[in-house]
Chains A and B, each alone.
Chain A
Amino acid sequence: MQWGSASEFFAMGGYGLYVWTSFIATALCMGWEVLALWRRRAAARAEQRAELLGDTDETTA
């Protein structure tokens, strides 16, 4: 282990801004993708369900 303290870890030898921006941006993109897919799935199922139950409200489709 090369880190003496938590602040040393977050400083990343002076490169903290670049290192953490990279990792946080990657995490946000992946998290956003998963969330977007979750919502897309919910929307697709809701629409499908409405169609099947004879709900002919075309404005929501």
Chain B
Amino acid sequence: MNWSKYSAPQAFYPLAGRLIPWFAVVAVALMGVGLYMGFFVAPTDFQQGESYRIIFVHVPAAWMSMFLYVVMAIWAGVGMGLNARLSFMMAQAIAPTGAMFTFLALLTGAMWGKPTWGAWWVWDARLTSELILLFQYAGVMLLRTSIDDMRRADRSSAVFSLVGVVNVPIIYFSVQWWNTLHQGASVSMSTGSKMAATMLMAMLIMTVAFWLYSIAVVLARVRCIVVERDSLPVWDEKPAVSQEVAEVR
């Protein structure tokens, strides 16, 4: 199969349209399983009581906020390197979803911090660097909308997102590098997990669900962007519009 043909927006558009329902259905199903496990199977935490259940949205949202930023920067870099329009469109499509997950990570973190630490917000390294990530997403989106010329907008926001990628390892390792109020990683690639198996399973299922959700909405958004930028309808998988046009002419 020749995958490179999908780098053309007109070939990618119907492919994305066919993929979206699959990602969406599996995402919703996994969210159902994850929520069930998180609320009915995972035990009460012996230290934090029931408030710990916030992690079933907090941790997946925080992971996605960082992961989506890296993916956005990669697409921006590919766009710069190959001068590929679809890559820039992918980067553009990822930013709002990444910003949303960053906002949710901060909000649910505050919901956890208030009963646990007694404060909605503290200026520790983890929270501050995550807040900066939100500003970075905002910067990428604002930079794009502030430049009228599409090619310049693409390249400027690509440079901005590539430079900002240094913040992602800072967020991730902040709990090791500095003495943060935010707890250290409970799940680590080197030492494994410090959580009960059902807690960990619920959290991982929710993470996969959020990941598939992100793919579905990003593909849906990139389709909108393709239509908005090029307004060429012949790519539509349903030939109704083109037929109607032919009849009018």
Contact = CB atoms under 8 A, between A and B. Distances in A.
Partners in one complex: yes
Interface of A: 1-3, 9, 12-15, 18-19, 21-23, 25-26, 29-30, 33-34, 37, 40-41, 44-45, 47-49, 51-54
B217 A25 contact: no
23 contacts: A3-B40, A12-B50, A13-B49, A13-B50, A14-B49, A15-B50, A15-B51, A15-B53, A19-B50, A22-B57, A23-B57, A25-B104, A25-B107, A26-B108, A41-B220, A41-B223, A45-B227, A45-B241, A48-B227, A48-B231, A48-B233, A52-B233, A53-B248
B213 interface: yes
A38 to B, nearest CB: 8
B181 to A, nearest CB: 17
B149 interface: no
Interface size class, chain B:
35 or more
Contact of A33 (B100, B111, B112, B245): B100
Nearest to A25: B107
A25 B109 CA distance: 12
Given A40-B221, A49-B233, 17 more contacts: A9-B39, A12-B53, A18-B112, A18-B115, A19-B51, A19-B111, A22-B57, A22-B108, A22-B111, A22-B112, A26-B104, A33-B217, A37-B224, A48-B233, A49-B244, A52-B241, A53-B248
Interface in B222-249: 223-224, 227-228, 231, 233, 241, 244-245, 248
Contacts, number: 87
Nearest to B248: A53
A1 B43 CA distance: 8
Contacts of A44: 224, 227-228
Contacts of B53: 12, 15, 19
A12 B217 CA distance: 31
